[in-house]
Amino acid sequence: MNYEKVGSVIYQLRKESAMTQQELADKLFISNKAISKWERGQGCPDVSLLRSLSEIFGVNIEKILAGDLAPNSADGGNMKRAKFYVCPMCGNILTATGDAEISCCGRRLEPLVSRPADAEHQLHVEVIEDDYYITFAHEMSKDHFLNFFAYLDYDRVTLIRLYPEQGGEVRFPKRGRGKLLFGCSKDGLFSWKL
């Protein structure tokens, strides 16, 4: 760990928050000399203080320890490049339009990587009244089910969450030339050409 980088980040965050060293020290119940020491790169916050620093500044602990607050690059506005994350503990489905550090239930999540649907994950897609009507015969049990469908267009993502024992059909409004993705609780993310 580079103490100078960590100190630089703490200094930057403190200044952005318009706090003095004494005000930050008071919030952490430590002396202002400790804050000064960190900001000069001559020490690092104790592990017991990292959560409090993270909450005070609204920044991930990892970013503080890495000494890096560089912003992500702009995503260019194309929602077809959205990334999907599924928490293995609670099943939450999260999305991001660019590079992101996503965590849920205390675990860092990696974006799902889509692949073309295989023989076990086949869909039947019809156009009915300007909608895509999608049916599937995939198992929908508590242990193995399709957990979501997402229709990605240039400017929006339509996400439909599915649950075990739900019927095998979904419907999306047909808009332009979108991209269809769907997730399986066991096998990951699949794409389907419309």
The CATH number of the domain holding residue 7 is: 1.10.260.40
Q: Are residue 141 and residue 185 in the same domain, yes or no?
A: yes
Q: Is the pLDDT of residue 153 over 80?
A: yes
**What is this structure's pTM?**
0.69
The residue that leads in pLDDT, 101 or 74, is 101
Asked if the structure places residue 71 within a domain, the reply is no
pLDDT of residue 10: 93
How many angstroms separate the first and last alpha carbons of the chain?
49
Q: Is residue 53 classed as helix, strand or coil in its secondary structure? A: helix
Q: Are residue 99 and residue 174 in the same domain, yes or no?
A: yes
Cα–Cα distance for residue pair 43/45, rounded to 1 Å: 7
Q: Is residue 22 classed as helix, strand or coil in its secondary structure? A: helix
In b/e form, how buried is each residue of 100-127, taking b as 16+ CB within 10 angstroms?
eebebeeeebebbebeebeeebebeeee
pLDDT of residue 76: 52
Q: Are residue 47 and residue 22 in the same domain, yes or no?
A: yes
* Domain hosting residue 153, numbered range: 79-192
Who contacts 114 (Cβ-Cβ below 8 Å, separation ≥6)? Answer: 181, 188, 189, 190, 191
Q: Is residue 54 classed as helix, strand or coil in its secondary structure? A: helix
Q: Is the pLDDT of residue 40 over 60?
A: yes
pLDDT of residue 60: 83
- Lowest mean pLDDT segment, chosen from 29-33, 71-75, 105-109: 71-75
pLDDT of residue 79: 77
Q: Are residue 56 and residue 104 in the same domain, yes or no?
A: no
